[in-house]
Amino acid sequence: MTTALITGGTSGIGAAFATRLARDGLDLVLVARDTERLAERARRLRDQHGVAVDVLPADLSAEPGIETVEARLADRSHPVDLLVNNAGFGNQGRYLELPVADELTMLRVHCEAVLRLTTEATEAMRERRRGGVVNVASVAAFLPRGTYGASKAWVVQFTQGAARDLAGSGIRLMALCPGFVRTEFHQRAGMDAGAVPNWMWLDAARVVDAAMTDLARGKDLSIPDPRYKALMGLARIAPRGLLARTSSSAGRRYGPR
Ligand SMILES: NC(=O)c1ccc[n+]([C@@H]2O[C@H](COP(=O)([O-])OP(=O)(O)OC[C@H]3O[C@@H](n4cnc5c(N)ncnc54)[C@H](OP(=O)(O)O)[C@@H]3O)[C@@H](O)[C@H]2O)c1
């Protein structure tokens, strides 16, 4: 049986990956911090789809959490065929409105954990000559948007570079870059997302379906919606100053802390 490990598999895009992959008949390992929510989510997936679902409580901003997931990915007796590095968050505020410790926590979850988990997973996959890794970035990777955008730019560059380095190994790596998706993300980050126009919002299940199609096609980068593909095409040719002004305001109104 094929097994997928999903970080942040209890909510939003990660939960949509879990539902889609369980529907496809994959066994799952779900990683997140909230143990009760993990157990509830696993129970529902087992009941609805008849697949095996293990839970792995871990905080990916802390060394023991990263080590726990690394150990699971290194376990050759229970191989993981698809890793989805999805756990992530936004901080409530712009640069210098936030303690630098919060920015470092973000880099740990978005970059260090992604690097270490991808490395552990692909080492094991290389021995079996098959496997896949989806690293969830964001269209913010292409825009000047503080540490969040910078961390997601790292995810894109790292993933595309690793995909090239591992070409011919049987392993597919893909960076997934959604636009605004209706999840708990904005509320958790204290963002007032009310100013984001309706047409910019994406549905998590559709994002995941498009991502899985792109992964099957062997793409190393997925922007899962024609509207955002067009916008990112424009972003590539727009003057950097204009881009910085526009992107630093879009969806970045914060409520009181
Ligand atoms: N929503 C959007 O508009 C959007 C757009 C582009 C990209 N993204 C990216 O998509 C990914 C998923 O975001 P989402 O929108 O689905 O957010 P979400 O609904 O808030 O879900 C976040 C998930 O990550 C887990 N998580 C957060 N911090 C963690 C940590 N330190 N250790 C382990 N698990 C952690 C959460 O569970 P626990 O709290 O229980 O740990 C939860 O399962 C993120 O990487 C985000 O940057 C989101």
pLDDT of residue 248 exceeding 70: no
Which residue among 89, 143, 227 has the greatest number of ligand 1 atoms within 8 angstroms of its CB, and so is best to mutate? 89
pLDDT of residue 12 exceeding 90: yes
State how far Cα 69 lies from the chain centre.
15
Strand locations in the chain (E): 3-7, 27-32, 53-57, 82-85, 131-136, 171-176, 191-192, 221-222, 253-254
Task: Please tell me the distance from the alpha carbon of residue 142 to that of residue 156, in angstroms, as a whole number.
Answer: 9
Cα(205) to ligand 1 centroid in Å equals 15
pLDDT, mean of residues 139-157? 95
139 CA closest ligand 1 atom index = 6
Q: The tokens of 43 are what? A: 């129970």
Q: What percent of the chain has pLDDT over 90?
A: 85
What's the confidence (pLDDT) of residue 235? 87
Cα(239) to ligand 1 centroid in Å equals 31
Q: How confident is the model at residue 76 (pLDDT cuts 50, 70, 90)?
A: very high
| Known active-site residue 254 | no
Question: For 228-239, what is each residue's pLDDT tens digit?
Answer: 999 999 988 887
**Block residue for tokens 């955002």:** 228
What's the confidence (pLDDT) of residue 111? 98
Q: Going from the N-terminus, what domains does the chain have, and what CATH number goes with each?
A: 3-254 (3.40.50.720)
pLDDT of residue 1 exceeding 80: no
Cα(168) to ligand 1 centroid in Å equals 31
Among candidate residues 95, 148, 228, 254, the one labeled active-site is 148
HSE-CB for 33 with a 13 A CA cutoff: 10
Using alpha carbons, select from 189, 181, 193 the residue that is nearest to residue 251: 193
In the chain, % helix, strand, coil (3-state, to 5) comes to 55, 15, 30
What's the confidence (pLDDT) of residue 251? 64
Which residue among 6, 10, 13 has the greatest number of ligand 1 atoms within 8 angstroms of its CB, and so is best to mutate? 13
The pTM score is: 0.95
Task: Please tell me the distance from the alpha carbon of residue 169 to that of residue 83, in angstroms, as a whole number.
Answer: 16
Please give the residue that has the higher pLDDT: either 193 or 253: 193
Q: Pocket residues for ligand 1 (CB within 6 Å)?
A: 7-8, 10-14, 32-34, 37, 58-61, 86-89, 109, 136, 138, 178, 180-181, 183-185, 188
Cα(32) to ligand 1 centroid in Å equals 9
Residue pair 257/190 in contact (Cβ under 8 Å)? The answer is: yes
The CA–CA distances, whole Å, from 94 to 150, 193, 196, 242, 243 equal 13, 15, 18, 18, 17
Question: For 166-215, what is each residue's pLDDT tens digit?
Answer: 999 999 999 999 999 999 999 999 998 888 999 999 999 999 999 999 99
Which residue among 143, 152, 181 has the greatest number of ligand 1 atoms within 8 angstroms of its CB, and so is best to mutate? 181
202 CA closest ligand 1 atom index = 3
Q: In what order do the strands lie in the sheet with 53-57?
A: 53-57, 27-32, 3-7, 82-85, 131-136, 171-176, 221-222
Amino acid 131 reads G
Question: For 119-141, what is each residue's pLDDT tens digit?
Answer: 999 999 999 999 999 999 999 99
Cα(7) to ligand 1 centroid in Å equals 8
